[in-house]
Amino acid sequence: MANIKQRIKQDLTSHPTLAPISERLLALGVADYRQWQVDQHNVVFYRLDEANKRIELLLLMDSRQNLQKLLFELMLLA
């Protein structure tokens, strides 16, 4: 986990547009989040708040998990 935090702090803050818009979320009707494969099994979903110059992290998950099921369980997708 420390390695992931370090990569987010270094790579994502330096290059906030390094990841494309998430096709997995786009298929669920969510269009403004990016998907970044941090390492072999971990993916971060985030969006850019350009007005406030912030990166908003939505979710860090194991890429082998079912995204739709996880979002329903977390009540992020209704």
Domains of the chain (ranges; CATH) run 2-73 (3.30.2310.20)
pLDDT at 32: 93
pLDDT at 55: 95
pLDDT of residue 72: 85
Alpha helices in the chain, H assignment, sequence order: 2-7, 13-14, 23-26, 67-73
pLDDT at 73: 84
Residue-by-residue pLDDT tens, the chain, 78 positions: 889 999 999 999 999 999 999 999 999 999 999 999 999 999 999 999 999 999 999 999 999 999 888 888 887 766
